Amino acid sequence: MSLKRRVLVIGPKLAPLAEQAMPKADFEVAAPEMVDAVNLMRSPFDLVLIEAGAADPARLTAVIGALAQTASPPAVILVGANLPASLARALFKLKRSDVLDAPLSPADLARCVASLFADTAGAGGAARHSQCWSVMSAVGGAGGTTLAIEIAATLASRRLGDRVALFDLNLADGAASAYLGAAPNMHLADASAAPERIDQALLDVFSLRAPGGFDLFACPRDPYAFAKITPAAVCRLLEVACQVYDWLVIDMPRHRHSWTIDVLGGSDELLVISELTVPALLAARDLAAEIEAEIEDARRPRIVLNRMASRMFGPAPSRAEAERALGRKVAGVVTSDWEAAACSANLGGPISQHRPRSKIVKDIAGLVDDLATQTVAGRRQSKKVA
């Protein structure tokens, strides 16, 4: 998973160069006098670019000192000629920093950024190759939560030794914890005041071990949660989780929030869940098209048909008819089994635990194996290209 890098540019002249060097990053531009320790704490950045000529060295030394004090200090690049020793000394306090001579090209800056972040990935193997799969229902009740739980349980049972986490990002009234019979403990609204403090220790507090062998991150019910939880907190949570877990499965809310595109854009797979009704198929087709239009370079969303039943039980579309309505092939189908789904939700736990012989379990296992194989193949392909 790779979320958008957040970059603070201090000094107006650097901004256009930075945007050319990192076209996909999120930028904030600030004058040095506007940067103080309090707003650095509130809004964590991955990278800070400082124009050495933008203010007097004492002011810039204070800014770099404040950055070094934050819970997870960003990488800092200082751009300028003939830098005073005081500034260079301040930079030494940071784990990741570099100095570039002005003038420089966007390519020089991009190379420098890449090497700073490559170094941290190497150090102690902190950067895991985590895989993030987001699951989104095309219409309410299509089965996103049920399928996200089964996918997490399947990954945990098939990939022994891998750490798997399920994130319920239906922040106000997510159902994953109820389906799993677990008490939600992710107090993300409190953490939103200081997102930079979200670290591995806090993740341990937020998570609970769910039946099925994975960790669950779910918020206690709160009708105002979407207003209270900031995009920075959601992004930071997932970023830290990527360092801890091998697999992140995200139960995404169907409606847009300010962080939706960031999360979907950083996902390795996007599964849109539809049921077999004409309105659901049309909604799935539109949702997939909306996502594709908004996220450059994202994996194409894959559509999964849930609650596939024999036609004996009603006039539902067939798989082929559904694919015609969708205008694309589906990634998989999951059989309808109300008894298994209801019984597992009532007992609290994945269907694979309470009804292991249900066709739902077999279908999800097939889907997970297909996706995982394609992911590994995709990785090999991208290595070759690199």
Ligand X SMILES: Nc1ncnc2c1ncn2[C@@H]1O[C@H](COP(=O)(O)OP(=O)(O)OP(=O)(O)O)[C@@H](O)[C@H]1O
Site string for ligand X, 269-308 (x = CB under 6 A): -------------------------------------xx-
Does 137 contact ligand X by CB under 6 A? yes
**Distance between first and last Cα of the chain:** 18
**Residues numbered 152-191 forming contacts with ligand X, rule: CB under 6 A:** 175
Place of tokens 């003939």: 82
Q: Which stretch binds ligand X (CB under 6 A): 143-151, 156-164, 180-188, 234-242?
A: 143-151
Does 260 contact ligand X by CB under 6 A? no
As a whole number of angstroms, the distance between CA 228 and CA 233 comes to: 10
Q: Could you tell me the two tokens for 256? A: 């847009």
- Spatial neighbors of 98 by CB under 8 A, at least 6 apart, are 75, 76, 77, 78, 112, 115, 116
- Residue 197 corresponds to which amino acid? R
Residue 347 Cβ, how far from ligand X at the closest point, in Å?
Answer: 12
As a whole number of angstroms, the distance between CA 153 and CA 170 comes to: 19
What is the sign, positive or negative, of the torsion defined by CA atoms of 23, 28, 32, 38?
Answer: negative
Residue 352 Cβ, how far from ligand X at the closest point, in Å?
Answer: 13
41/175 with CB nearer ligand X: 175
97/170 with CB nearer Mg ion: 170
Does 352 contact ligand X by CB under 6 A? no
Q: Indicate which single residue of 61, 130, 134, 146 sits in contact with ligand X (rule: CB under 6 A).
A: 146
**Residues numbered 126-145 forming contacts with Mg ion, rule: CB under 5 A:** 144-145
R_g (Cα) of the chain, nearest Å: 23
- Residue 120 corresponds to which amino acid? T
What is the sign, positive or negative, of the torsion defined by CA atoms of 56, 112, 295, 145?
Answer: negative
Strands 47-51 and 6-10: parallel
Does 97 contact Mg ion by CB under 5 A? no
Residue 198 Cβ, how far from Mg ion at the closest point, in Å?
Answer: 24
Residue 256 Cβ, how far from ligand X at the closest point, in Å?
Answer: 15
Does 157 contact Mg ion by CB under 5 A? no
Containing H/E element for 23?
Answer: none
Q: What is the largest CA-CA distance in the chain?
A: 81
Q: Which stretch binds ligand X (CB under 6 A): 242-250, 262-270, 288-296, 335-343?
A: 335-343
As a whole number of angstroms, the distance between CA 303 and CA 285 comes to: 8
Write out the residues near ligand X by the rule CB under 6 A.
137, 140-146, 175, 306-307, 334, 336-338, 341-342, 345, 360
Write out the residues near Mg ion by the rule CB under 5 A.
144-145
